[in-house]
Structure 1
């Protein structure tokens, strides 16, 4: 998978090139024989060690299993020690041998991956400090190597492309990921997001060992990060362009089928997306975690289609098999059952009320913090603790908004009209019960979601009316304070579509500056920043990079 350096002897250039070529052919094989092949060389080759540790880390990140995290951490630590043996011994000389340059880039990669595992493994402050130091040291190494690449004295070796690809991957990853996390103050990242994208695009365009990783990171950015944390557009054209060569060469590759499904989902082609995700599950059985990723997306595809029973089925599968967030899965199961009749619920052997009451008991922490989605689900489920609870008006449709799902259904009129009909039914139900302390909260939620549907259907004046309705009731909202900044955000995006740029910026700045400490605040802020970035003419769907003090 990666080219090799032996700790026992230095490979000749011709042998090294032969090794690189053979490893490139094996690049995407993650079956047991390949893992055994890697494991046999992890003690004497830094690239074998790094690759094997990376695969174990992928598994740990997908399972959140403590044993997997511990195994990956120990293996990555050993890989780092092997890289250390090949690093430059003296700090007095500014020149690097080719082997030392590769050792440096591998060492930086090990540091960054060990930091990620540190944040997952322990919740105490010492672990966070240690992880932060690793992140910063990794960043400094990549920064130094980028300087070496730009220096006039740097000479290109036979394996220059692979070294340069590693630097582009690291620099690009830091620029993208630091805009999504709180690490930016630790890393003191000085590159702009656009530069990070450029580095990854250049890295993906070359046939190097890390071009695949550059491609995967770009695909994640276009199909997840910029979609969920941006204005919901994503760069589908770029994602398709990146994916097609891999999908053509590896038509049964699980990861490629997964991204193909995700692209179809973003485009609103739900039947095609479902077919791709099902293909992904059938393609391999060794890594069940890929199945879980597909189950999550399938759950949302059936939510968009209002097939509540099928959505419940995949939420149930996740609840049984995956450990990411049991509370979120229980909440989604309850949400889907709440949309069915009592008779329909009998076939599932559990009720929405029982599940909603379970949600707070399933709370967990990852990297020392509760997941924002989980905290949101717990807050919403608390109303069911009462002896005679007031039901949520349309819980799947609300969580759909949290994950930016209305931009998916908005691409198809029939899906949007179907969701609006469900909201009208929820409104009629709300109007039929006596007023209570939560009536304004529920009314404002329905107004926000109806406004979104109407906006996508082209009824802009009606949509604006519903967004304004949320703002008019701001002082009477009891718990769901997140609705107000989100209504301002959606109103601002509507103004932006109509060409009312100054008004849009004013609404977005109000949402950004005037509201704090509400549910899903970070996610809303990312969306506001993306909208401002777009309004000020800095890009179509990028996420704004905060300034560094």
Structure 2
């Protein structure tokens, strides 16, 4: 890049900048994180691509730690990168249409500037109105401009990432938020967004890593948490980013893919390999520990699940309340006469949970609030124990979907639930008895659904719904039972009944635990139903 005396380092050509940033990305994907940042740092003030990629890597670190200082540092660095981009071209003013630049450097600057806005929005969660809409909306015009094919190839990757991320993100919002966004002229097309990200991920450009990571996050996390999991989850192991550079982050996603397939032992091996692959960024280890906790939960190896919860409670600052709750929950699954690791006691651990409450971006994480609410009953000098706290939290993370292809694991869960139900019946009746019974019924319904025992599953969900007026504490149970029964009816082809149940769950229940996650799943189910009904109507019209 040439021609501006304000730069602090010797000028580089655009092509040299892109080449060096590609080298930095390659180092990053091969676990050489410090070397990658060291390569980018010297030209952060005079190269828009060095500035954006450096800030992007800091943002990835912040997203893994969720720590205020890391988020602020990443945000400030991204803001500085935005200022570097401004020096290279005329940025968007007042939301007008894309300014078609005369020089290639300016066009790249426009795209990098827009990318900074997109990533700053992701960091703050509050800047939807500042998303770079004009640049990404007019991406087709950008692609038609004639100049250096090499640089144009990099520009196409940036446009694919921006358009794909924008459309995919907006398409996932619940209907009530989408209506507000549409009023402001914003809308998102999920399939179009995914196609753009696929295009960017399958070609080796500077943003292919970002496209691949966003797709992997969608297919292996968001789609399962939000309840619209795709039938094919093999994506990610076939992209150039993954196959050519099997670093820690892609080992992690490969493990997650095997976990979703039900190949739990293979997943455990990959997560362990991911931990061994690098030692520079412990955050990668913490992501693996979290998944290993759930892998051993699916296998009902409670002491190993406890071990990883304990590691997280000591090393990770993301949500100590959640980790301590999971430690206590795992210990509570052990027989009363079995020795507890490190001499810890689940009752004391449950009592500690509220003391670790924290706020991220001004709010407590929903799962943390849920854990604190569940742990409250242990304040008493003679507390009423939670029946199956690990499996209840497993449901909140959509874990029963993860084992649907493993009848042996599902049967194991069912055995645990039957034992818990028997123990609950043998205990004196308390104010928690109905709630605890309904928790067990909801989870039994999930196991029976996995085992294709649809009538028995339906009966379990219906028992929860019929107990609505007797439930005192766990208000989340009825809307989730309605949701699960609605999903069961979709599988059975009873679509009209499914719509009624889903609409009831959506409209009649507010301010319960994990409401946002339930609403996202309801939105996904209704959207799928609407699409299926539209296809059927088109087919009947064609006939």
TM-score, normalised relative to structure 1: 0.88
Q: Aligned-pair distance for 1:374?
A: 0.6
Q: Does 1:146 align with 2:151?
A: no
SS in structure 2 opposite 1:481? coil
> In the alignment, does 2:45 pair up with 1:43?
yes
> Which residue of 425, 428, 431 corresponds with 1:434?
428
Deviation per CA, 1:300-333, whole angstroms, max 9, x where unpaired?
0000000000000000111111111111111111
CA shift for structure 1 position 82: 0.9
**Would you say the 8 A contact 2:164–2:193 is kept in 1?**
yes
Shift of 1:161: 2.2
The alpha-carbon distance between structure 1 residues 315 and 234, as it changes in their structure 2 partners (threshold 3 A), is farther
| Partner of residue 165, structure 1 | 157
Change (3 A) 1:506 1:6: farther
The alignment status of 1:499 with 2:493, answered yes or no, reads yes
Match of 1:78 among 67, 71, 80: 80
Structure 2: gaps spanning 5 or more residues: 534-543
Query: What's the Cα RMSD here?
Result: 2.6
**Counterpart Cα distance in 2 of 1:60 and 1:502:** 44
Contact 2:208/2:241 (8 A) holds in 1:
no
- Which of 372, 377, 394 does residue 388 from structure 2 map onto? 394
CA distance in 2, matches of 1:463, 1:5: 68
Aligned twin of 1:201: 198
| 1:108 counterpart = 2:114 | yes
- State the Cα distance separating 1:538 from its structure 2 match: 4.6
| 1:213 matches 2:218 | no
User: In the TM superposition, what is the alpha-carbon distance from 1:169 to its structure 2 partner?
Assistant: 0.9
Written as runs of structure 1 = structure 2, the 5 A alignment for 1:56-455 is 56-88=58-90, 94-96=99-101, 97-118=103-124, 131-132=126-127, 135-143=128-136, 145-146=138-139, 148-149=141-142, 154-158=145-149, 159-180=151-172, 185=180, 188-233=185-230, 235-242=232-239, 245-251=240-246, 253-455=247-449
TM-score, scaled relative to structure 2: 0.89
Q: Deviation per CA, 1:364-407: give whole Å up to 9, x if none.
A: 11111110101111111111112221111100000010011111
The CA deviation string for residues 333-381 of structure 1, in whole angstroms up to 9 with x for no partner, is 1100101134434432221111111111111111111101011111111
User: 8 Å contact 1:492–1:508 — kept in the other structure?
Assistant: yes
Whether contact under 8 Å (1:223, 1:235) holds in the other structure is no
Q: Secondary structure at the match of 1:462?
A: helix
Mind listing any 5+ residue stretches in structure 1 that lack a counterpart? 120-130, 540-549
Counterpart CA distance in 1 for 2:106 and 2:482 is 53
Structure 2 CA distance, aligned partners of 1:114 and 1:20? 22
How many angstroms apart in 2 are the aligned matches of 1:89 and 1:237?
A: 39
- SS of the equivalent of 2:132 reads helix
Q: C-alpha distance in 1, partners of 2:208/2:24?
A: 14
Distance 1:329 1:289 in 2: 15
Q: Secondary structure, in 3 states, of the residue corresponding to 1:236? A: coil
Q: Deviations over 1:193-230 (max 9, x none)?
A: 22211221222233321122111111110110111112
The answer for the alignment partner of 2:539 in structure 1 is none
User: Is contact 1:232-1:404 (8 Å) kept?
Assistant: no
How far 1:42 sits from its partner (Å)?
A: 1.0
What whole-Å deviation, never above 9, does each CA across 1:510-532 have from its counterpart, x for those lacking one?
A: 21122222111111111112222
1-side partners of 2:165 and 2:99: how far apart? 26
Give runs of ≥4 in structure 1 deviating > 6 Å: 89-93
Q: Which of the numbers 518, 522, 531 marks the counterpart of 1:524?
A: 518
Deviation at 1:147, TM superposition (A): 6.0
| 8 A Cα contact 2:17 2:49, kept in partner | no
CA distance in 2 between counterparts of 1:258 and 1:480 reads 34
> Corresponding residue for 1:127?
none
